[in-house]
Amino acid sequence: MGTTQLESVPEPKYWHLRTVLSEALDSEFSVGEILPNERDLAARFGVARATLRQALEQLELEGRLQRRRGVGTTVAPPRVGVAVGTDQHAWPGAPDDAWQPVDCVLAVPPAGVAAALETGAEEPVHIVRRSRVFHGQPVAAELLYIPASSVPDLTAIDAPSGSARARAVLRELQHLELEGRDNAVELGSARADDAKELDRLPGAPVLVVTTRFLAVGRTAALSVATYRADTCRLTFGDSGSVEIHHGPERQAS
């Protein structure tokens, strides 16, 4: 990160700074390495800390940096490829499922979810919370909405709530014949509860994957999964091994 001055160009400073830092990351830093702190970096480039932070935010959004309060800013590893909806004919909770059930409650879903499920606006459904872990790190949190009509043989005996209940609901779900599913991906920001589960601050950028499970001619379940946008690359289809790097990147010693 040799030089120090910025030229006067019509380009915003923070954008130019982003480019300079990005190139420095490629050529002079290793994955996991700690950058100088924000005050030092700002001084080194002759800009205010807020401006420097704007550049860092961009790079964090692009998955190049990882920042943790009280710790520092480190060079992020390449994003992990996470397979989404590979098996078009498996329910959530199938044996090879990557998700872990956390909890389950019976409650009235948000209006938009009720509409998609074609349930009444005040009708409670099973809401299963699940989480997905990759290399020991949480990468996604999910809410699964399942109308009572999709699990007709569920007995209240199994468990009133909790992960045991979640497993019972998912077990019942397997009895239906799955006809297909739909996926949609959009950008969102983590709500407080999701943020906590993903080990991020509220408002952190997430990729929201909405999956509709179709059975007996209607939507039998709806999944809303939020993936950490900074660390994840979602892969669809067969072999999710497309690897496009920005440039040279070394491994930390």
Binding region for a second copy (CB under 8 A): 12, 15, 18, 58, 61-63, 79, 81, 85, 88, 110-113, 115-116, 180-189, 202-203, 205, 207, 210, 212, 222, 224, 229-230, 232-248
Q: Which does 61 bind (CB under 5 to 8 A by kind): a second copy, DNA, none?
A: a second copy
Q: Which does 180 bind (CB under 5 to 8 A by kind): DNA, a second copy, none?
A: a second copy
Token pair of 6 as six digits: 């910025």
Side chain identity at 90, as an amino acid letter?
Answer: A
- Least separation in angstroms between residue 142's CB and DNA is 24
- Residue 153 or 243 with smaller CB distance to a second copy: 243
- Least separation in angstroms between residue 56's CB and DNA is 7
Per-residue contact string for residues 20-39; x = within reach of DNA by CB under 7 A:
---------------x-xxx
DSSP per position, 120-181 = -TT--EEEEEEEEESSSSEEEEEEEEE-GGGSTT--TTS-SSHHHHHHHHHHHHTTSPEEEE
Helix axes of 49-61 and 38-45: crossing angle, nearest 10 degrees: 110
Point out which residues pair with 74 in neighbouring strands.
Answer: 34, 66
Using CB under 7 A as the binding criterion, the count of chain residues that bind DNA stands at 27
Q: Which does 39 bind (CB under 5 to 8 A by kind): DNA, a second copy, none?
A: DNA
Residue 100 and residue 175: Cα distance in Å, rounded? 20
- Residue 160 or 180 with smaller CB distance to a second copy: 180
Residue 207 and residue 232: Cα distance in Å, rounded? 9
Q: Which residues contact 87 (CB under 8 A, 6 or more apart)?
A: 94, 96
- Residue 38 or 103 with smaller CB distance to DNA: 38
Q: Determine which residue in the list 3, 7, 71, 242 makes contact with DNA, applying CB under 7 A.
A: 71
- Least separation in angstroms between residue 220's CB and a second copy is 14
b (16+ CB within 10 A) / e for 154-177: beeeeeeeebebbbbbbebbeebe
Q: What are phi and psi of 145, to 5 degrees?
A: -105, 120
- Residue 15 or 236 with smaller CB distance to DNA: 15
Interface stretch with DNA, choices 8-16, 90-98, 124-132, 172-180 (CB under 7 A): 8-16
Where does this chain bind DNA (CB under 7 A)?
Answer: 10, 12-15, 35, 37-40, 46-51, 53-54, 67-73, 201, 203
